[in-house]
């Protein structure tokens, strides 16, 4: 089995039906004037994060979710942050059930788990709420989880039996830093799905999810143990390759090693490591592909080896739709992947009298209402307001290697 190819869409192997979700060919450029008007201006944003921030602002406005912009403030990025009252009400999550699940997981977190509570409940652009919004419905409905992953990895999944968040098998020991079976750090994956394979064996799918990250760090402090583990796990063409230590790649390296060590140390008989990210986030997709190219081919007869697969977020959402939960799929698409929406908003700003059309030539979905937001905002002080643009707009903090 090759580790160098991204996974195909769910429809490709089992159905001729075309997905109802159609993505743009590239990330639309968002004019600065539009970002200023809606409170999405951040000089440190990549092209994708800039568009993603605008998409989150659109989603918040659609659902009448107050933002954290102080009255009269301009030239801010806080339009994508929820007001304190909205954050407390759980409006960063798609449903009340997902909000409650997220609270329970954060309160009953594994020892050493590195949740950022404020980011999870108040930052709409963060991948932390995305993890709960995407995998929460699966954790609450294991039949749905089974149907989704039987599409994505049919050779590995017969059924999904449990879903864990912010998980590390290395936390099973009293002192990971002194236990050379693991990585001597706090490395963890976003999600771990306990599954039953078609052969009836127990297995675990370890998953890392990205959204707006630009793959520039912060990175974990490199440890001698990592150098040892790179050779120990027997996953890489060249364990000394500097690519595996690069800031854009090293998190994938650590988490894949951790997944392999889970098998080697008897936590599970079989495992797979997967990564999920938006198709239009080129930095994320490039990191996945570059990492895959560092891996040795996997012998199909050697079930002790942990394979790596990477999927687009669009493919994951499509699998949820095909599995029968169209409502959740539609919600995820509108919030995280409908970049047609921000393309049309930008077009309506630059050509207000033009009839908007989809980037693929089809009719558009209509212009964004560009009236100033006159909804009352909370008078409580938002923790987001006290942060600088650079801190608040930074990619997800490295919660794994510290």
Average pLDDT over residues 346-375: 60
Asked if residue 328 is part of any domain, the answer here is: yes
pLDDT surpassing 80 at residue 397? no
Q: How confident is the model at residue 43 (pLDDT cuts 50, 70, 90)?
A: confident
Q: How confident is the model at residue 249 (pLDDT cuts 50, 70, 90)?
A: very high
pLDDT surpassing 90 at residue 292? yes
Quote the pLDDT of residue 17: 63
Quote the pLDDT of residue 114: 83
Higher pLDDT, 184 or 202: 202
Asked if residue 325 is part of any domain, the answer here is: yes
Lowest mean pLDDT among 37-51, 283-297, 316-330, 363-377: 363-377
pLDDT surpassing 80 at residue 15? no
pLDDT surpassing 70 at residue 391? no
- CA nearest 268: which of 203, 349, 358? 203
Higher pLDDT, 178 or 217: 217
Strand order from edge to edge, sheet including 189-196: 159-167, 189-196, 202-209, 270-277, 307-312
Structure tokens at 153: 């990895």
Quote the pLDDT of residue 359: 57
Average pLDDT over residues 16-44: 89
Which DSSP state fits 363? B
CA–CA distances in Å: residue 156 to residues 16, 109, 303: 23, 27, 10
With 0-12 / 13-18 / 19 or more C-beta atoms within 10 angstroms meaning exposed / middle / buried, residue 159 is middle
Asked whether 167 and 188 are in contact (CB, 8 A), the reply is: yes
Mean pLDDT of the chain: 86
Which DSSP state fits 165? E
Q: What is the pTM of this model?
A: 0.86
Asked if residue 8 is part of any domain, the answer here is: no
Quote the pLDDT of residue 392: 46
380 by DSSP, 3-state: which?
A: coil
Quote the pLDDT of residue 153: 98
With 0-12 / 13-18 / 19 or more C-beta atoms within 10 angstroms meaning exposed / middle / buried, residue 350 is exposed
Asked if residue 399 is part of any domain, the answer here is: no
Structure tokens at 78: 């806080």
Quote the pLDDT of residue 73: 76
CA distance 222 to 399: 14
Structure tokens at 385: 């307001």
Higher pLDDT, 131 or 385: 131
Q: How confident is the model at residue 341 (pLDDT cuts 50, 70, 90)?
A: very high
Q: Cα–Cα–Cα angle for 85, 132, 163, nearest 5°?
A: 145
208 bridge partner residues: 275
Q: Which domain holds residue 88?
A: 27-393
Asked if residue 89 is part of any domain, the answer here is: yes
CA distance 23 to 35: 22
Q: How many domains does the chain have?
A: 1
Asked if residue 22 is part of any domain, the answer here is: no
pLDDT surpassing 60 at residue 206? yes
Quote the pLDDT of residue 130: 98
CA distance 341 to 343: 5
Is the previous residue joined to 38 through a cis bond, with omega within 30 degrees of 0?
no
Quote the pLDDT of residue 175: 62
Structure tokens at 378: 């909370």
Asked if residue 253 is part of any domain, the answer here is: yes
- CA nearest 385: which of 79, 44, 51? 79
Quote the pLDDT of residue 180: 79
Average pLDDT over residues 26-32: 95
Secondary structure element (H or E) that encloses residue 96, with its range: helix 96-107
CA distance 334 to 316: 14
Average pLDDT over residues 279-291: 98
Average pLDDT over residues 180-206: 94
Average pLDDT over residues 76-98: 96
Quote the pLDDT of residue 221: 87
Percent of the chain scoring above 70 in pLDDT: 81
Quote the pLDDT of residue 362: 47
Q: How confident is the model at residue 370 (pLDDT cuts 50, 70, 90)?
A: very low
Write down the residue that tokens 């047609």 correspond to: 340
- CA nearest 147: which of 321, 336, 330? 321
- CA nearest 193: which of 252, 125, 250, 147? 147
Which DSSP state fits 208? E
Asked if residue 3 is part of any domain, the answer here is: no
pLDDT surpassing 90 at residue 244? yes
Write down the residue that tokens 């449990």 correspond to: 162
Write down the residue that tokens 């963060």 correspond to: 126
CA distance 278 to 315: 9
Quote the pLDDT of residue 3: 58
């Amino acid at each position: 089995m090759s580790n160098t190819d991204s996974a195909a869409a769910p429809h490709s192997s089992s159905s001729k039906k075309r997905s109802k979700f159609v993505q743009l060919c590239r990330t639309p450029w968002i004019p600065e004037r539009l970002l200023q008007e809606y409170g999405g201006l951040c000089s440190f944003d990549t092209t994708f994060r800039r568009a993603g921030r605008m998409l989150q602002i659109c989603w918040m406005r659609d659902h009448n979710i107050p933002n954290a912009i102080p009255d009269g403030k301009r030239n801010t990025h806080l339009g994508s942050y929820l007001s304190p009252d909205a954050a407390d009400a759980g409006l960063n999550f798609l449903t009340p059930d997902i909000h409650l699940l997220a609270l329970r997981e954060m309160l009953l977190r594994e020892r050493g788990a590195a949740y950022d509570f404020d980011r999870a409940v108040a930052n709409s652009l963060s991948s932390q709420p995305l993890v709960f919004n995407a995998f929460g419905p699966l954790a609450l409905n294991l039949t749905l989880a089974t149907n989704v992953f039987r599409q994505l990895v049919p050779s590995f999944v017969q059924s999904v039996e449990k879903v864990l968040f912010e998980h590390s098998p290395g936390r099973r020991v009293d002192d990971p830093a002194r236990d050379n079976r693991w990585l001597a750090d706090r490395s963890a994956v976003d999600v771990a799905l306990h599954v039953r394979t078609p052969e009836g064996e127990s297995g675990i799918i370890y998953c890392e999810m990205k959204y707006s990250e630009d793959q520039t760090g912060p990175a974990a402090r490199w440890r001698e143990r990592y150098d040892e583990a790179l050779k120990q796990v027997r996953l890489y063409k060249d364990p000394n390759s500097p690519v595996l230590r690069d800031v854009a790649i090293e998190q994938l390296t650590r988490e894949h090693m951790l997944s392999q060590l889970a098998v080697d140390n008897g936590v599970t008989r079989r495992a797979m490591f997967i990564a999920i990210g938006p198709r239009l986030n080129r930095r994320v997709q490039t990191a996945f592909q570059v990492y895959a190219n560092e891996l040795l081919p996997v012998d199909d007869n050697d079930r002790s080896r942990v394979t790596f697969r990477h999927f687009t977020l669009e493919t994951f959402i499509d699998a949820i739709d095909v599995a029968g939960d169209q409502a959740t799929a539609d919600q995820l698409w509108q919030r995280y992947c409908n970049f047609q929406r921000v393309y049309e908003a930008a077009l309506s700003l630059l050509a207000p009298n033009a009839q908007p059309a989809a980037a693929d030539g089809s009719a558009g979905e209509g212009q964004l209402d560009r009236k100033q937001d006159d909804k009352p905002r909370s008078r409580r002080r938002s923790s987001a307001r006290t942060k600088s643009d650079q801190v608040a707009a930074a990619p997800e903090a490295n919660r794994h290697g510290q």
